[in-house]
Amino acid sequence: MIKAPSLRGLLLAGGRSTRMGRDKASMILCGNGQTQAANALRLLEGSCVRVFLSLREGQEKPEGCGSVEILRDVVSCGGPLAGILTAMRYDPGAAWLVLACDLPFVDASLVSLLLAGRDDSPFTGFASAVDGLPEPLCAIYEPSALPLLEEHVARGHVCPRHIMAEEGAHLLKLPAAARHALENINAPRDLEMMTRFSDPGTASSEPTGETPGREIRLGWFGFLAEQHGCREEMFVTPAGTVGELFAELTARDGTDGLTSGVLFAVNDEFAPPDHPLKAGDKVVFMPPFSGG
């Protein structure tokens, strides 16, 4: 291949960590006693000429980040794409290795695989072990990705996973040993689950062949259907309960705070937020009723 553009590293730490209840970047998840942000920055520094930390406007720097250069979101589209676009506009001639701060199991060998897989596609990333879709938050964004991202944002598309899928990203297969490496941690329960996955002492107790995602049939009514643009959809989720699933979906769709008073049904019966999910369940989201 022709000479590749030089690589910048971008650590995304601008998420609100609302489900975790504390800043994910400042958590200490690895045995070395360093915060998640510190470990991820060191990982990026191993491959990139310059490394930047992506934060929201006004957000405090997570613990353990030292004197890293900071890029604050100048794009208002929200979500991880705001941080990615900010960085790409800052240096449009560079390729960006983007990494989210909530992926504690990404290591140097996985980053090497990603770098080796680079070709002339605008995006290079891994295919999700759960649904085969691109994993946008441990991926390389080449300079040719910038106009594509701008175009999608102008049309209101802000989900980098869907943009990568639509633009034919070059996708690599996750090695078997790192099958769970791109599962992020969004809720304390995930953290507990990841800890079990990473502990060789208990890993064997996991049923073999089990994927952490469950396929769920979703249904929406009233203004929720309008907000989501559909009444039914199939969705694969790592969520363990109906409430977690709803939090995941409102975060995905950017509808947090617009959805108070929503009730849940599982398999055509009312269900509380802590109702456990199993594969094949039908989950329906209901706004407050207005019959009569």
Interface with other proteins (CB under 8 A): 219, 221-224, 226, 258-261, 263, 265, 268-270, 284, 286-292
From edge to edge, which strands make up the β-sheet containing 95-100?
69-72, 50-55, 7-12, 95-100, 134-141, 123-127, 170-172
Characterize the bridge pairing of strands 214-220 and 232-237.
antiparallel
> In the bound complex, what is the minimum distance in angstroms from residue 219's beta carbon to other proteins?
8
Contact 223, 258 (CB under 8 A): no
Scan for tokens 């490394």, then name that residue: 51
Q: Whose Cβ is closer to other proteins: residue 219's or residue 254's? A: 219
Q: Residue 81, exposed/middle/buried by CB under 10 A (0-12, 13-18, 19+)?
A: buried
Choose among 254, 203, 287, 272: nearest CA to 16. 254
> In the bound complex, what is the minimum distance in angstroms from residue 283's beta carbon to other proteins?
12
> In the bound complex, what is the minimum distance in angstroms from residue 262's beta carbon to other proteins?
9
> In the bound complex, what is the minimum distance in angstroms from residue 266's beta carbon to other proteins?
10
Beta bridge partners, 277, equal none
Q: Whose Cβ is closer to other proteins: residue 195's or residue 270's? A: 270
Ramachandran angles phi, psi of 58, nearest 5°: 80, 0
Rounded to an integer, what distance in angstroms lies between the CA atom of residue 188 and that of residue 21?
Answer: 8
Which tokens in the block code for residue 158?
A: 């802000």
Choose among 223, 237, 207, 232: nearest CA to 289. 223
Rounded to an integer, what distance in angstroms lies between the CA atom of residue 208 and that of residue 178?
Answer: 15
Q: Whose Cβ is closer to other proteins: residue 60's or residue 268's? A: 268
Q: Whose Cβ is closer to other proteins: residue 198's or residue 259's? A: 259
> In the bound complex, what is the minimum distance in angstroms from residue 260's beta carbon to other proteins?
5
Q: Whose Cβ is closer to other proteins: residue 45's or residue 226's? A: 226
Q: Whose Cβ is closer to other proteins: residue 143's or residue 273's? A: 273
> In the bound complex, what is the minimum distance in angstroms from residue 267's beta carbon to other proteins?
9
Q: Whose Cβ is closer to other proteins: residue 133's or residue 225's? A: 225
Residue type, 267: N
> In the bound complex, what is the minimum distance in angstroms from residue 268's beta carbon to other proteins?
4
* Strand stretches in 17-120, DSSP E: 50-55, 69-72, 95-100
